């Protein structure tokens, strides 16, 4: 039985029923990754629907991350996306000894080529939630804000806003795009902050228009936000980062001891 032979599920708008039928065909492998979908006209004729209805069905599939449109060529089933795993071991000593930053190591494990674009390094007044966690004044330029965009195989993956105390970062490599071996954590260790514990606060939300643009998100795709705080050997917070991940390419894996 081919996708065209399948009956439409009842009790739903026609566009939703067409989308559900095509999604089922994709999930069963009847429509394979990279395969071109029938045209809007062909889908409309196949299911006895208006062309606008077929167009809406394709839009629904695109929102679910199942198909992608290629200008002038048509609509194709998307390749399965491998997920980055931002887990509890990403800051481990063993991983730091590789000399790679956590993102570069995760990209390497998945056979992807990482790229990090440093957009800006500025002295700023911190957002209130950052000031609270970093324990710095919220009414003065008490932090350095490093804004980075991360890519894997040239596809945007995450936006990272990192905040450090101005009094520690001033005049150091923390103010430079290339901060040296082991990244900013190597420089922070030189300042006496050895990471011994982290606190991650995770939430899901819809992206801002700017986040959707930077991450090249399809309509309807949410983001995962991780507000990360690094604590040192004295339980002192010394770095706060806000990670905004595209949810269609990111998984979070944590393995925690149970006492």
Between 11-15, 56-60, 197-201, the lowest mean confidence (pLDDT) is in 11-15
Report the relative pairing of strands 197-205 and 223-231 from DSSP bridges. antiparallel
- What is this structure's pTM? 0.76
Q: How far apart are CA 249 and CA 83, in angstroms?
A: 5
pLDDT in tens, 121-170: 999 999 999 999 999 999 999 999 999 999 988 889 999 999 999 999 99
- Who wins on pLDDT, 218 or 193? 193
Structure token digits, residue 252: 């979070």
Between 145-154, 212-221, 247-256, the lowest mean confidence (pLDDT) is in 247-256
- Residue listed under structure tokens 């004044």: 137
Q: For a pLDDT cut of 90, what percent of the chain falls above it? A: 56
- Mean pLDDT, rounded, of the chain: 87
Do 20 and 7 meet the contact criterion of CB atoms below 8 Å apart? Answer: no
């Amino acid at each position: 039985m081919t996708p065209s032979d399948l009956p439409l599920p009842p009790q739903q708008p026609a566009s939703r029923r067409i989308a559900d039928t095509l999604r089922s065909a994709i999930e069963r492998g009847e429509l394979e990754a990279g395969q071109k979908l029938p045209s809007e006209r062909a889908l409309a004729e196949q299911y006895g629907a208006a062309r606008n209805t077929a167009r809406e069905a394709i839009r629904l599939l695109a929102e679910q991350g199942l198909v992608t449109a290629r200008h002038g060529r048509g609509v194709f089933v998307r390749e399965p996306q491998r997920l980055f795993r931002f887990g509890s071991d990403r800051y481990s000593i063993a991983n730091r000894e590789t000399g790679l930053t956590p993102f570069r190591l995760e990209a390497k494990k998945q056979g992807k080529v990482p790229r990090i674009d440093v957009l800006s390094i500025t002295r700023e007044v911190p957002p209130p939630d950052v000031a609270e966690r970093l324990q710095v004044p919220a009414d003065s330029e008490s932090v350095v804000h490093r804004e980075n965009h991360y890519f894997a195989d040239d596809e945007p993956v995450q936006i990272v806003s990192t905040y450090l105390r101005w009094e520690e970062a001033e005049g150091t490599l923390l103010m430079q795009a290339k901060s040296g071996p082991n990244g900013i954590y190597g420089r922070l260790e030189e300042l006496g902050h050895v990471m011994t514990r982290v606190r991650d606060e995770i939430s899901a939300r819809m992206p801002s228009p700017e986040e959707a643009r930077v991450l090249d998100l399809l309509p309807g795709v949410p983001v995962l936000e991780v507000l990360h705080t690094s604590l040192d050997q004295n339980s002192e917070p010394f770095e706060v980062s806000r990670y905004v991940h595209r949810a269609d390419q990111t998984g979070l894996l944590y393995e925690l001891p149970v006492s």
